[in-house]
């Protein structure tokens, strides 16, 4: 079908019968190997979801189950590249990357021990770290907030105070604390509408503003035909609420029992990120491959945008790569505490117990 | 130096001209054709494509409109609570069986109402019903957007994992209880069925058809990888194609258009037609190669080009053949002209042609031949006459030169005198003269004169003057008498009214007494032995030959041994430099003063050299005459005492 159109085809066409035969055979063979590997490899806590990706199988390695806080995308490229380039294996880890997203929330999987290490926003991690189940930050990936509030610019929505009385879509499960703090700090009476990730609510005028990430939904809004000048946007980082986001977390219990493993994971992940940022095209190939394997809609130009923006966030403080600075920690904790999103303050070193190696 | 122009044959010139002409005509023709016919082609292509597109749009719209009507009718029944549970089930099954457009039906309630939300669909020809578990469905676009807006909503295609487990596009209608929305009625259309309508649509060879949802997502496209992964704006972004982005915005605004995609684009060199659906505001777009839109025009232009090429080749052949025939008599004429040019005026000019211009040329050449023959004859005669005149002038020149004393023979005409004269006429013969001779044993006569004008008349006058002076000098004692006689003679005999400026002096060799008359001539210089220069500028009358009754005076002085008398004509003082400055008397005096132990020859040559250095040959046209004599000493014989005048 696609071969006769004369158009460049971005995906692989399987319509030519000999090629299709080979691809099906190869896929079946890979599936068989995959099943064998699944039965041979026993992750730390037993059951492995169907969506778990297994890249390696070496009995001598320490198994680690990692779950990102969202579906596979360039936001977690450092982890993929660390696995792809063997950085985890080099440090004695057998990492399994699990699927994230609203159907597989990262924090919950950490609590129910279906994952060992996850990524979380700092605000989410702080608010969910309780004395009974304290969390530990192994590495702080993003050094700048990427959260934005965007709406369609109009005479009735052109400045912050116009948000009064407006419907604001905030993610229903996670990542909403910084926006809530912003509304409270600015004393805005906003009608909060819990939403999923879809930007269609905004595009169809079901809500007036919504939470977006600079590297993800903001680009989707642009790619739905809205020009930047047609968008009313608030970058929380620029509005004085720069709560850093993506970090690598585990439970204190797991950290204390597997300190070396945790540190090795953090170090290898940072190496993976450095590799990813230096090799964007190769990284995008890997990301797209993973997304297609997981039947996630894969758009290379969107992933390229995401990787590019992640680079900005990660290198926002180039000399603090991977570090959760006390300044960022205190700023986030004080804001959360002030607004009742945190019941008890946590000592910095208890939350971020280990400094990472310095990288150039 | 002039370079010879490159010559080309008639045929070459004509063919080149025709080639340029045809290229211009062809270019104008292409431009005009493209301009006039191009618009028609685009219009035709647009009509054809829009007709096909509208057919498909109508087909899809009919399906979707039917689904929408079913939904609205069923919602009314639900909201009016007119159906029992059993009737409801039968009604839903009937809708699914009778309308293949409806893949599944979902009735979902707000989770907090505690009511079962169900999905109905046919599987293996039997009705299946599934209960929606959990409450996450309330955040799906199909539920959430119409809930918040209160309006019906067509969703983007999505994978219904809870129901039919395939890609569907859902039409959702809010279900009300009173004013409150209690849930959503959802009728699903299978995306595959919509794609089936669109994808077989092929326009000519290259045309492809695709669907875009109302947020720009590519819903249907021959390239599978684009479907639901890319928006039209993603494609624009990937190729940095602003035109496509603007076009995408127009598509989402519900506009219809047919535009050529320019520059670097996913749709490079294609025409893009787009039109909205009326049911769900999706957009049907068709891309077709520009070459296909203009295929007929390009064929027409190719035929035009080939026709023109054939015409050009035929014209070339005809021009070459005709010019070959036409140039034959011209070649004969050229040959005859060559013969005439080499002096053969009797060569026959015989050209047989019926071309008026060539016959005229032949006649003209014949006329020219006879005229040339006559002219040459005349020229020969005139040349012979001119040569004769020239010879006579040369003879006159020789005679004139013989009339003046020779410096070689008469450098010392008498022991007391040393003399040197220079006469250089501006032409072959001149009007200047100098002369000196002994009147008797003791008196030395010298004369220098300038006859107005040049040529034969001046030369003859000069001859008359010198002959006359020599003939009467012996009978007239002093210069005034000689001059008076000469004046009278000239007035009577000078037919051309030429007048003569003259200095005539008589030196008594015994005591050095010199008496001279200056009749309108330039000054006379005396260079004393002690290098003192004395200028005698006073004239003693006007020039001779004009007025019969004139008084002529004279001036007398005594020369000392070694004194030099320097005489010259106005050819010296009026010699002109390149800056048009006269040589004048001051420069002359400077030369004379600077002479050291001169003799007449060195003095005369120094003056001539000075004049030549000073003057510009282009402006130096007058006769030049210099006469210098030196009084060496008084006559030593004491036989006779000095004469008295």
SS3 B209: strand
Burial classification of residue B377, based on how many CB atoms lie within 10 Å of its CB (0-12 exposed, 13-18 middle, 19 or more buried) = exposed
**pLDDT band, residue A193 (cuts 50/70/90):** very high
Cβ-contact B544, B519 below 8 angstroms: yes
pLDDT at position A20, please?
A: 39
Tell me which chain A residues have a C-beta less than 8 angstroms from the C-beta of B228.
Answer: 297
Å from A302 to nearest chain B CA?
A: 8
Whether B156 has its CB under 8 Å from any CB of chain A: the answer is: yes
pLDDT at position B290, please?
A: 80
Contact across the interface for B266 and A194, Cβ inside 8 Å:
no
Whether B148 has its CB under 8 Å from any CB of chain A: the answer is: yes
pTM for this prediction:
0.62
| Total Cβ atoms within 10 A of residue B84 | 9
CATH 3.90.1640.30 fits B407-631, yes or no: no
Handedness of CA B304, B310, B313, B319 (dihedral sign): negative
Which DSSP string do the residues of A261-295 spell out, in sequence order?
HHHHHHHHHHHHHHHHHH-HHHHHHHHHHHHHHTT
pLDDT digits (tens, 9 = 90+) for A293-338: 888 888 899 999 999 999 999 999 988 899 999 999 999 999 999 9
Å from B71 to nearest chain A CA?
A: 21
Q: Using H for helix, E for strand and C for coil, what is the string for B505-521? A: EEEECCCCEEEEEEECC
> Which residues between 273 and 332 in chain A have a beta carbon less than 8 angstroms from any beta carbon of chain B?
297-302
Handedness of CA B269, B273, B276, B282 (dihedral sign): negative
Tell me which chain A residues have a C-beta less than 8 angstroms from the C-beta of B239.
Answer: none
d(CA A351, CA A89) in angstroms, rounded, equals: 27
Å from A20 to nearest chain B CA?
A: 15
pLDDT at position A37, please?
A: 39
Mean pLDDT across chain A, nearest whole number?
Answer: 84
d(CA B158, CA B228) in angstroms, rounded, equals: 9
Cβ-contact B286, B201 below 8 angstroms: yes
Handedness of CA B565, B566, B569, B570 (dihedral sign): negative
Chain A's closest residue to B207, CA to CA, is: A5
Whether B230 has its CB under 8 Å from any CB of chain A: the answer is: yes
**Which helix (DSSP H) or strand (DSSP E) does residue A122 occupy?**
helix A122-128
Cβ-contact B63, B193 below 8 angstroms: yes
Question: Which residues are bridge partners to A135 per DSSP?
Answer: A251
Whether A173 has its CB under 8 Å from any CB of chain B: the answer is: no
What is the phi/psi pair of residue B143, to 5°? Answer: -100, -45
| Arch. (CATH architecture) of B35-61+199-293 | 2-Layer Sandwich (3.30)
Q: Where in chain B is CATH 3.30.450.20?
A: 35-61+199-293, 83-193
> Which residues between 24 and 83 in chain A have a beta carbon less than 8 angstroms from any beta carbon of chain B?
none
| Total Cβ atoms within 10 A of residue A10 | 18
Residue A27 scores a pLDDT above 50: no
**Which helix (DSSP H) or strand (DSSP E) does residue B294 occupy?**
none
d(CA B49, CA B516) in angstroms, rounded, equals: 124
DSSP code at position B576: B
Whether A18 has its CB under 8 Å from any CB of chain B: the answer is: no
pLDDT at position B111, please?
A: 92
Q: Give the pairing type, strands B524-527 and B270-276.
A: unpaired
Residue A46 scores a pLDDT above 70: no
Angle, helices B191-198/B10-79, rounded to nearest 10 degrees? 150
Chain B's closest residue to A202, CA to CA, is: B145
Block means of pLDDT (10 residues each) for chain B, 645 residues, are 66 85 85 80 79 85 91 90 85 92 94 91 92 90 95 92 90 92 94 79 72 90 85 90 92 91 82 90 88 76 85 87 82 85 81 79 85 88 88 78 72 82 80 87 90 76 85 82 89 74 92 92 89 89 88 91 91 86 89 83 90 79 87 70 39
Provide the strand spans (E) within B60-179.
104-109, 118-123, 126-131, 153-154, 158-159, 167-177
d(CA A298, CA A286) in angstroms, rounded, equals: 11
Tell me which chain A residues have a C-beta less than 8 angstroms from the C-beta of B199.
Answer: 1
Tokens describing residue A35: 């099943």
Whether this model's ipTM surpasses 0.85 comes out as: no
CATH 3.30.450.20 fits B83-193, yes or no: yes
Tell me which chain A residues have a C-beta less than 8 angstroms from the C-beta of B261.
Answer: none
Q: Where in chain B is CATH 3.60.40.10?
A: 407-631
pLDDT at position B334, please?
A: 85
Partner-chain residue, chosen from B222, B234, B289, that has the shortest CB–CB distance to A299: B234
Which DSSP string do the residues of B344-372 spell out, in sequence order?
-TT---------HHHHHHHHHHHHHHHHH
Angle, helices A300-314/A259-278, rounded to nearest 10 degrees? 120
Contact across the interface for A225 and B141, Cβ inside 8 Å:
no
Å from A169 to nearest chain B CA?
A: 11
pLDDT at position B3, please?
A: 54
> Which residues between 80 and 139 in chain A have a beta carbon less than 8 angstroms from any beta carbon of chain B?
102
pLDDT at position A50, please?
A: 37
Token match 């493993």: residue? A261
pLDDT at position B641, please?
A: 41
**Which site among A1, A20, A224 would you substitute to test the B interface, given the most B Cβ atoms closer than 10 Å to its Cβ?**
A224
Residue A17 scores a pLDDT above 50: no
Chain A's closest residue to B212, CA to CA, is: A224
d(CA B412, CA B509) in angstroms, rounded, equals: 13
């Amino acid at each position: 079908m696609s071969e006769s159109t004369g158009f460049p085809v971005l995906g692989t066409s399987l319509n030519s019968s000999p090629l299709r035969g080979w691809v099906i055979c190869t896929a079946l063979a890979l599936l068989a190997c995959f099943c064998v590997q699944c039965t041979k490899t026993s992750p730390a806590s037993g059951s492995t979801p169907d969506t778990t990706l297994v890249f390696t199988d070496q009995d001598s390695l320490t198994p680690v189950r990692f779950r990102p806080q969202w579906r596979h995308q360039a936001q977690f490229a450092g982890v993929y590249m660390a696995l792809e380039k063997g950085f985890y294996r080099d440090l004695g880890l057998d990492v399994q990357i699990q699927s994230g997203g609203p159907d597989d929330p990262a924090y919950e999987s950490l609590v129910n021990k279906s994952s060992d290490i996850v990524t979380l926003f700092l605000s989410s991690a702080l608010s969910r770290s309780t004395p009974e189940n304290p969390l530990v930050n192994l590495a702080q990936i993003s050094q700048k907030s990427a959260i934005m509030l965007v709406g369609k610019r109009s005479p009735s929505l052109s400045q912050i105070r116009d948000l009064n009385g407006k419907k604001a879509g905030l993610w229903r499960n996670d990542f909403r604390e910084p926006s809530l703090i912003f509304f409270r700090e600015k004393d805005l009476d906003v009608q909060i509408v819990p939403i999923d990730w879809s930007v269609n609510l905004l595009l169809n005028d079901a809500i007036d503003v919504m939470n977006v990430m600079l590297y993800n939904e903001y680009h989707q809004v642009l790619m739905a035909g809205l020009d930047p000048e047609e968008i009313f946007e608030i970058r929380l980082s620029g509005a004085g609420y720069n709560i850093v986001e993506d970090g690598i977390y585990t439970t204190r219990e797991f950290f204390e029992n597997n300190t070396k493993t945790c540190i090795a994971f953090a170090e290898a992940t940072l190496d993976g990120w450095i590799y990813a940022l230096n090799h964007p095209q190769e990284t995008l190939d890997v990301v797209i491959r993973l997304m297609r394997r997981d039947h996630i809609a894969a758009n290379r130009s969107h992933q390229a945008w995401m990787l590019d923006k992640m680079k900005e966030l990660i290198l926002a403080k180039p000399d603090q790569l991977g570090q959760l600075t006390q300044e960022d920690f205190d700023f986030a904790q004080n804001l959360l505490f002030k607004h009742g999103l945190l019941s008890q303050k946590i000592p910095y070193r208890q939350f971020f117990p280990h400094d990472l190696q310095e990288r150039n | 130096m002039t370079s010879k122009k490159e010559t080309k044959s008639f045929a070459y010139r004509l063919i080149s001209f025709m080639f340029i002409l045809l290229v211009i005509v062809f270019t104008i023709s292409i431009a005009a054709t493209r301009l006039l016919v191009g618009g028609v082609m685009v219009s035709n292509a647009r009509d054809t494509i829009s007709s096909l597109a509208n057919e498909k749009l109508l087909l899809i719209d009919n399906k979707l409109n039917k689904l929408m009507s079913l939904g609205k009718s069923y919602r009314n029944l639900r909201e009016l609570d007119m159906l029992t549970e059993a009737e409801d089930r039968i009604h839903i099954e009937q809708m699914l069986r009778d309308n293949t457009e409806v893949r599944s039906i979902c009735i979902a309630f707000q989770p907090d109402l505690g009511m079962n939300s169900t999905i109905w669909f046919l599987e293996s020809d039997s009705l299946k019903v599934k209960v929606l578990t959990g409450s996450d469905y309330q955040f799906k676009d199909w539920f959430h957007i119409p809930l918040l807006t209160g309006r019906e909503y067509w969703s983007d295609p999505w994978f219904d994992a809870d129901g039919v487990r395939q890609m569907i596009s859902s039409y959702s209608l809010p279900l009300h209880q009173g004013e409150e929305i209690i849930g959503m009625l959802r009728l699903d259309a299978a995306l595959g069925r919509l794609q089936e309508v669109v994808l077989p649509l092929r326009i000519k060879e290259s045309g492809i058809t695709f669907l875009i949802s109302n947020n720009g997502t590519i819903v249907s496209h021959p390239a599978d990888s684009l479907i639901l992964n890319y928006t039209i704006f993603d494609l624009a972004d990937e190729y940095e194609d602003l035109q496509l982005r603007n076009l995408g915005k127009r598509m989402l605004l519900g506009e219809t258009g047919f535009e050529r995609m320019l520059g670097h684009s996913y749709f490079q060199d294609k025409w893009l037609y787009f039109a909205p659906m009326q049911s769900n505001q999706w957009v049907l777009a068709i891309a077709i190669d520009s070459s296909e839109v203009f295929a007929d025009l390009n064929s027409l232009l190719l035929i035009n080009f080939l026709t023109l090429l054939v015409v050009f080749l035929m014209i070339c052949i005809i021009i070459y053949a005709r010019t070959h025939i036409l140039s034959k008599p011209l070649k004969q004429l050229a040959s005859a002209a060559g013969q005439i040019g080499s002096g053969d005026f009797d060569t026959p000019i015989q050209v047989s042609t019926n071309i008026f211009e060539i016959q005229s040329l032949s006649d003209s050449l014949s006329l020219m031949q006879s005229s040339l023959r006559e002219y040459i004859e005349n020229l020969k005669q005139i040349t012979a006459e001119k040569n004769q005149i020239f010879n006579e002038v040369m003879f006159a020149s020789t005679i004139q030169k013989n009339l003046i004393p020779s410096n070689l023979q008469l450098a010392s005409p008498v022991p007391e005198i040393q003399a040197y004269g220079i006469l250089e006429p501006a032409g072959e013969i001149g009007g200047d003269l100098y002369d000196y001779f002994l009147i008797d044993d003791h008196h030395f006569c010298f004369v220098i004169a300038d006859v107005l004008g040049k040529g034969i008349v001046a030369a003859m006058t000069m001859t008359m003057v010198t002959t006359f002076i020599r003939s009467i000098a012996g009978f007239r004692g002093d210069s005034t008498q000689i001059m008076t006689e000469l004046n009278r003679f000239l007035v009577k005999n000078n037919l051309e009214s030429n007048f003569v400026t003259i200095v005539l002096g008589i030196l008594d060799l015994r005591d050095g007494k010199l008496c001279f008359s200056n009749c309108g001539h330039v000054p006379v210089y005396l260079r004393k032995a002690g290098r003192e220069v004395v200028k005698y500028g006073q004239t003693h009358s006007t020039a001779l030959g004009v007025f019969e009754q004139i008084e002529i005076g004279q001036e007398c002085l005594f020369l000392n041994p070694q004194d030099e008398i320097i005489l010259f004509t106005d050819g010296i003082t009026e010699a002109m430099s390149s800056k048009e400055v006269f040589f004048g008397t001051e420069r002359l005096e400077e030369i004379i003063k600077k002479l050291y132990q001169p003799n007449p020859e060195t003095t005369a040559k120094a003056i001539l050299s000075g004049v030549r250095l000073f003057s510009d040959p282009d402006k130096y046209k007058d006769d030049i005459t210099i006469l210098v004599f030196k009084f060496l000493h008084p006559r030593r014989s004491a036989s006779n005492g000095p004469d008295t005048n």
